[in-house]
Amino acid sequence: MSSSLRQGIILPWRSQLYFSAVITKHLLTTDEIRYLQQRTLTKQKNLHTLSFYICPG
């Protein structure tokens, strides 16, 4: 059993709650960023395809 894990168990429930909230928020944020990046990438692809049809080559 690692010392950090033992510390995590000893931590009071309030800070555990805060910790899990921070992790959840972080996960949500990274998911949102990934989603936005994906949308931007799709838009760029669409624009690229469109410009290719307008003036190929």
**Which residue has better confidence, 6 or 28?**
28
The domain limits of the chain are 3-54
Q: Kindly report the pTM of this predicted structure.
A: 0.40
Query: Over the stretch 36-57, which tens digit does the pLDDT of each residue have?
Result: 888 888 888 888 777 777 766 5
Render 1-57 in DSSP notation, one character per residue. --HHHHHHHHS-HHHHHHHHHHHHHHHHHHHHHHHHHHHHHHHHHHHHHHHHHHS--
User: Is the model's pLDDT at 32 over the cut of 70?
Assistant: yes
Q: What is the mean pLDDT of residues 16-42?
A: 85
pLDDT higher at 3 or 1:
3
